Amino acid sequence: MSQKVLLTSKEINIILHRLACQLLENHLDFSNTALIGIQPRGVYLAERLTKILREDYKVKNIELGFLDITFYRDDFGRGDKTLKANTTKIDFLVEDKNVVFIDDVLYTGRSIRAALTAIQSFGRPSDIELLTLIDRRFSRHLPIQPNYRGRQVDAINEEKVKVMWKENDGEDVVYLVNK
């Protein structure tokens, strides 16, 4: 197994600020916007972006929620492992809101497909956008594309993109791992 660094901590920081600015450009004061981190790994990115928007760009009242998609996946009983659920925490209605899904890696698109179904349990959003830190193009199974992307990566199926966060893994870094 070999791994190479795709993004360093410094690069991640620059990208996060750019993504925050792009969100700002489209959502201005976030008064009708809800940021939804996709469990489990999208939550760190969503929290980080929210922090930057609050502290560096003085946006008040950002609605942030976490969505677990375990019960909405399309591979139940097809994998070899039981899928363990994570907490869903959405304390607001998404009815008529502009929802932004936030996930660390966009790969086949199936998680986002599940998230699109899952979010319907919380109302009918006015629109839904997608933000991902890493976009693995050429590996999509479904017609799903991000509206905001950190870095586009060409990786083959045998490779894995690993996103590490300081708060959970000790450092901010993105690896390309060759299995």
Partner 1 sequence: MGELSVDHLLGIKYLNKKDIELIFETADHFKEVINRSIRKVPTLRDITIANIFFENSTRTKLSFELAEKRLSADVVNFSASQSSVKKGETLIDTVNNILSMKVDMVVMRHPNPGAGIFLSKHVDASIINAGDGAHEHPTQALLDSYSIREKLGDVGGKNVVIVGDILHSRVALSNIFALKLQGANVKVCGPKTLIPKHIEALGVQVETNLRRALEWCDVANMLRVQNERMDISYFPSTREYTQQFGVNKALLNSLDKQIVIMHPGPINRGVEITSDVADSNQSIILEQVENGVAIRMAVIYLLAAKK
User: Which residues make up the interface to partner 1 (CB under 8 A)?
Assistant: 68, 70-73, 76-77, 81-88, 93, 117-118, 120-123
Would you say 21 or 93 has its CB closer to partner 1? 93
Q: How far is the CB of 71 from partner 1 (least distance, A)?
A: 4
Largest Cα–Cα distance of the chain, in whole Å? 47
Would you say 80 or 154 has its CB closer to partner 1? 80
Would you say 73 or 140 has its CB closer to partner 1? 73
Q: Kindly report whether the peptide bond that precedes residue 40 is cis, defined as omega within 30 degrees of 0.
A: yes
**What are the residues whose beta carbons fall under 8 Å from the beta carbon of 27, sequence distance 6 or more?**
33, 98, 100
Would you say 4 or 84 has its CB closer to partner 1? 84
Q: How far is the CB of 141 from partner 1 (least distance, A)?
A: 18
Q: How far apart are alpha carbons 6 and 104 in whole angstroms?
A: 13
Q: Kindly report the CA angle at 72 between 44 and 34, in degrees rounded to 5?
A: 45
Would you say 39 or 50 has its CB closer to partner 1? 39
| Inter-CA distances, 62 with 50, 106, 137, 140, Å | 7, 24, 30, 31
Contact 133, 163 (CB under 8 A): yes
Q: How far is the CB of 40 from partner 1 (least distance, A)?
A: 12
Q: How far is the CB of 162 from partner 1 (least distance, A)?
A: 18
Nearest CA to 111 among 87, 146, 80?
146
